[in-house]
Structure 1
Amino acid sequence: MKKRKYLSVLVYVALLTISIVANIYPVLLDFGLTFIIPTIFLLIILSLYGFPVGLLSALITAGVGLYIDGSMIGAFLLITEVAAVGLLLKYRKWGVFQSALLYWLMIGMPIFIIYIYVFSGLDGWFAVLALVSKLLNNILCALVAEILLTYVPFKRWIQGSEKNTYSFHFLISHIVLLAIALPYSIFLIGDLHYTQNQIERSMSSQLQGRAKIITNELRDWDEYSILALRLQGVLQVAKVDSLIGAIDEQNMHVYVMDKDNRILYSNSPSTLESTVAKFSDEGHFTEIGKNSYQWMPEKPNGMDDVAIIGETSYLYTVEFKKNSMRILIEAPLRTMFEEEVKSFALEYANLLLFIVIGIGFTALLKAYIIRTFGKLSDTTTGLPKKLKESAHIKWPTTRMIEFNKLTDNFKETSFELTEMFGELQESRNRLHDMAYYDSLTGVKNRSYFMGILKDSVGFAEKGDPHTLLFMDLNGFKGINDTYGHDTGDAVLKQIAKRLTEACGKVGTLARLGGDEFVVLLPNSSRERAAEMAESIIKQVEQPIHYNDNLLQVGISIGISLYLHDSHSVDELMHHGDMAMYVSKAAEGRSRFTFYDTISQEGDENK
């Protein structure tokens, strides 16, 4: 138990550590986009350790991220997502992916839309790209978390529970969504990276080309021309305007400065000093070619990564040694590559659309499969009972070959079960007959009769007594010795049949053994017992035809009455036996005797 507890703590610490690190160091994509994955591990913690631990872990992860220059909006969305998913898991019993999807559609995206258009400064297709990438990021994280929870045995590791179980529609949903999202995401990332590289090469070439136009003219300027340009000389300004006219049409910003970094010329509304300060004091430079750089600003504390997408620029700088002039050309990403960003935004949106279509498709597939298998499930529910009761079973059929094969297997199994049940019932009947019925005559045996007798006398009332007729055949031994046991058995069967007819449904007939039989008459009067005895004698004394032989036996009957002359089962049997022997010893072949007449005669003799 302690080992399992330590393992549980170790798994939790590992998941929390990974979520914190993943939040601090997101996966960097091109165009300033990031793929943030701490949600995966926080949702796993939430599912394994419960709502309080999951929410606390989200607070820790977000808090550490904010402390190390994290995103305020990112931290807020992270905490609210874990809280919302935790509540849905606890009270609605929804899946992780379904709960996260509902959160982002109902809460997360409306909040993020407000942030993008009000606080981030993004607009146009840059804003759309930021929105769809954020939604896609978190939906994919939720999907990965659910897949890991479903197929990785976390609970067995930390709780010692049995293997993970999952429904068929979960498996189908995961396969379909992965088949859509995984290859498309790989394609998007590859296309994004390829386009970024192409843009960098193209931009480096464009910047060098534009700079070459200017440098070919300005590299040979003398100090007089430079001074005239600084003083806004008409001729010099016009010449530079004509040189960079094409560049200005490309939305590039050109700065011409002297050796002291004083502005000689600029077509940008911002001052050179602010631009140079911005590029010098903050941000990240990535060399993309000779004298060409990509610049991305530092992320302001508490702001989201998407806020810096629109501030990215491409730079080209060249310095003339002859006259100490320097040229800086800036190409803002926002204005230069609107079409490329639009293309990526649409591709991200397409992936989201495909995921939605995949969800709808799996929902339809789930409904079809559940309906189809539901019919089979309804048919096979309680199948053993239906087979025992010989109920009519209508087997469902579809156009699916595999389903029909499964149905055929059930049919075959049902047929075999029916045969097994039949054989089992026959065996049970045989065992029942062996336990409670005489194997020769088919009437109840001694063991079964004694149980019935005990139960019957236990409920006897003081009104009409229970009557026992104890019977023994007369002349049977002679038939058995003369004609053999087969003939004797045939006689016993015939006598048992006649006794059964005589008793009808009123009495309970049993064979005690040999040629001894008993009949129990519940709540029977003395007169009714005498009538039954006379009927039995009449039936038994009729001749029996067997193998061309005419056979005849008699019967001696002793009658005892419970609560009249007997007060226990043993007394009832014993007194009936005694009365039967009195009948057998008296003159005449067949007669019946009441036990109380024997006791009265004994009292008189005394």
Structure 2
Amino acid sequence: MLLLTVIVGLAIWMGYDIYQARALNAMLEKNLTQRLDAQAKEQRLRFDSYVKSFNPSTKLYASNSNLHKYLRDVDWEGSDFEVVKYENIPSWMPNLSSLRRFVLPRYAMLLDSDGKVREMYHDKGSEPPDGLINLTSLEHELSDGQGYMMILDGNPYLVTSEFIKNDYKEACLLIASPVDEEFLQASQGATNNKGVIALLREGEDKILVSDNEKIVPAGKTLASLDGEYLQAGEGFFSSGSSEIIVRFVSLISTKEIKKQKDAILLKDRQLRAVTAITFVIAFGFVMYWITLRIQKLSKKVADFSNKMHMPQPELHHKDELLELEGRFDLLAQAVQLETQTLEYETSHDLLTGLPNRKLLYNRLRLEVSAYGANGGSFVLMLCDLNHFKKVNDTLGHHAGDLVLKQASERLKLSLRKDDTVARLGGDEFSLLLVKTSIKEAELIARKITDTFNSPFSIENDIVKVGISIGVVEYPQHGKNADALMRGADVAMYHAKHNQTGYAIYNASMKNAVKVPKKS
């Protein structure tokens, strides 16, 4: 009887295996296609993000203090000059570690007010093409403040520039990189995606560049790759007001797809064979095995809880399932408590216990929505401690932390119960005053500045740390959270610049003082 059961079971398993293989094959075909489309979309988004990162990086490099100091000291007088070339990072660029955090350019050039290249950095052994050095005024204009993709010597290049104006001289920082194999690899970062990405000009079938020139070299046509590669994620891409429009294509080897599919089918077949044989052999011991596993699982739950500092009491149940259920209930309660703690930590500043930027923005948006529907006004303040960096530099970060804690307490004592004090980061705080007019806010701002004029007692040291406050009122100074934050930021830096303690925002402040860009 047992033998007959085994034979019938194996026959059923073999018939089911044929059916399952066909069904699984169809499902894998569909899932692999969807996965490849999703992978191609991610690759295209990464490429788009990488290209767009060049412009803000150029703006950041152009605001570098080393560059402005260099421009102040360098002498560019005279029309007879030679371009100064560097193969190592020049002093007017950020250091290598900073560049790697943003964009490490292949070429960086300093141009004078006439658009002539004065100084140039390039990779070792990688001289720039003449067309890049001698860009036209129109090309300079098109690259200003945006990524500009152009063809030089038959190859695509990404160029972006930023004009620099200061009290010493006018100049322009130009960043450029060839869109080549190295560029495409850098745009994808450290990923495990298999396949090749390639760029083609609009209306052409010939590949401009790919991220694997050995497999798919430049000049090869898409038509010649039919049957060898599956094309996915095809779409047009342009950057700024680019000279060219390129097609972005992801290519996946059909051999790789078949290999993955066969491996999954083989693994599934092996797994089901082992499962069938194990089931036939172990059927007589199933109840014993289940009971043993439940006991082991209960022990693992208890051990895991103890390891995670969630100790469980001793449970004595003759019913193993009831004991396991009890232990899972205790573990779920402990996990829920831990989750609540984590949720609190993600919305509050751990040093001061104040709401953080995320929670402030949520409350600010709620207030905008509520007051927009019902009318009325409220006030937002941004505060920045004066001379805080000096405290960190002279007394250390521990003393700085103590100042921040005391500052948060002073701010809380200056406000009402329904108001919100938040720490945005560093030495920057924000105050949200509900049902408050600008006149009432001005009194509160004076009270706060007076409070901060009193010195701080930091262990054995007395520290003087003032405060600068920017004040905006809803809806007078902004009708959404972002506008209010920007206005308060401008007013705060106006107060800091003019040493007035606090300032109420008005539109004329935008050009009166330059607000530092937050990276």
- Normalised by the shorter chain, which TM-score bucket? 0.3 to 0.5
Q: What's the TM-score, normalizing by structure 2?
A: 0.34
Q: Which has the larger share of strand?
A: 2
Q: Which has the larger share of helix?
A: 1
Q: What's the TM-score, normalizing by structure 1?
A: 0.30
Larger Rg: 1
